[in-house]
Amino acid sequence: MSIISISEAILRLKADKVVGLPTETVYGLAGSISSQVALETIFKTKDRPFFDPLIIHVSCLEQLKSLTSIYPEDIIKKLFKAFWPGPLTIVLPKSDQVSDLITSGLNTVAIRIPDHPLFLEAASEVGPLAAPSANKFGKTSPTKASHVVDEFGGNIGVVDGGDCEVGIESTILSIEKGNFKILRPGLITKSEIAKVLGVGKDKIISSHSGDNAPGQLKYHYQPEVPLALTDNAKDIATDLLKLTDKKITNYKVLELSDNPLIFARTMYAQFREESKNPYDLLVIEKNKSTEGVWASIENRLQRAATWDLRH
Ligand code: TXA
Ligand code: MG
């Protein structure tokens, strides 16, 4: 049985092991940042390349101090105050206390305070925890404890903290020399960040695919059964035949909410649930969108889909 209690998870983390822990966004595969063995296990378990750096999760601002080389200025503190604990990861210059294994040799470190009591309990007992999403590299992030069990089998103990509220990974904001850049969009949007900082939206740049922004690889978050995006699901089989010789006999149109918060919360779970059925294609019928949380969902859909047939 792979489901473990939080106290068992804390014991394992203190003994150089990695465990699955719930956050408000997606489940993480956590290990102590002071354990080289645990950090290596994270990469090995996920089949993750060492060039893709990890996010450090802290339980409070006190834990953050030794991780960054700058003393966060007032402007950065505004972000902490508005969004932490919560789904915003901030990339700051790193201190020499942070191992190169975590940052893949970059001179910056990604940090957040997650909004889940069980994760916070573990981080406050053990110290800062590195935690990527608890899935094999390039695959759909887990939003339920059972997803993590399915992903890694009995090898990894997982704490069940219920379904993730947010359902997509945190917004990643880098702050370097007074420049703000969104490396990965999420529930917390550019407008919300601009408002808190008291600057215009145009002062915050978005990274584009092709930028060297990790997590922005073209194919990421992919379900087991290939996904197609379309404006019109009923023509999917004929439309797809124009692009590939793949014959579609049994496809499933996913039913997702018109409310972006619910769409985000349930999307990955549907990818996983429906991939257990013998479909040869999953289909999402949805227009492209660049507005608010829809833009973040669009970012994930484009990377999760094998075919985008929308106009
Ligand atoms: O919501 C989340 O952020 C979840 C939960 C578990 O907290 N974590 C997550 O981790 O999504 P992961 O490893 O799957 O994605 C983190 C992304 C990666 O694409 C990584 O390349 C990027 O953050 N990242 C980490 N450190 C970075 C850095 N110093 N500069 C730029 N990007 C960084
Ligand atoms: Mg991930």
Nearest atom of ligand 1 to the alpha carbon of 102: 26
Which residues are registered as beta bridge partners of 68?
94
Helix axes 292-304, 260-275, angle to 10 degrees: 20
What span, in angstroms and rounded, lies between the C-alpha atoms of 255 and 281? Answer: 14
Q: State the pLDDT at residue 256.
A: 93
Distance 201 CA to ligand 1 centre (A): 23
DSSP class of 154:
G
DSSP class of 250:
S
**In the numeric block, which tokens belong to residue 241?**
């035949």
Residue whose Cα lies nearest atom 13 of ligand 1: it is 132
Q: State the pLDDT at residue 281.
A: 93
Q: State the pLDDT at residue 98.
A: 98
Nearest atom of ligand 1 to the alpha carbon of 54: 25
Distance 172 CA to ligand 1 centre (A): 7
Q: Please, are residues 110 and 56 in contact by the beta-carbon 8 Å criterion?
A: yes
Distance 215 CA to ligand 2 centre (A): 7
Sequential pLDDT tens for the chain (311 residues): 699 999 999 999 999 999 999 999 999 999 999 999 999 999 999 999 999 999 999 999 999 999 999 877 788 889 999 999 999 999 999 999 999 999 999 999 999 999 999 999 999 999 999 999 999 999 999 999 999 999 998 889 999 999 999 999 999 999 987 789 999 999 999 999 999 999 999 999 998 654 555 555 667 788 999 999 999 898 888 888 888 877 888 999 999 999 999 999 999 999 999 999 999 999 999 989 989 999 999 999 999 999 999 98
Amino acid at 102: I
What is the helix (H) or strand (E) element at residue 44, kind and residue range?
helix 36-46
Q: Which ligand is nearest to the Cα of residue 111, counting in written order? A: 1
What span, in angstroms and rounded, lies between the C-alpha atoms of 293 and 299? Answer: 10
**In the numeric block, which tokens belong to residue 258?**
């018109």
CATH number of 3-206: 3.90.870.10
Ligand 1: residues with CB < 6 A are 23, 25-26, 28, 52-55, 87, 89, 91, 103, 106, 108-110, 114, 131-133, 169-170, 172, 183, 214-215
Q: Please, are residues 174 and 108 in contact by the beta-carbon 8 Å criterion?
A: yes
> Among 172, 160, 151, which Cα is nearest to 47's?
151
Q: Domain limits of the chain?
A: 3-206, 227-308
Both ends of the chain: CA-CA distance in Å?
47
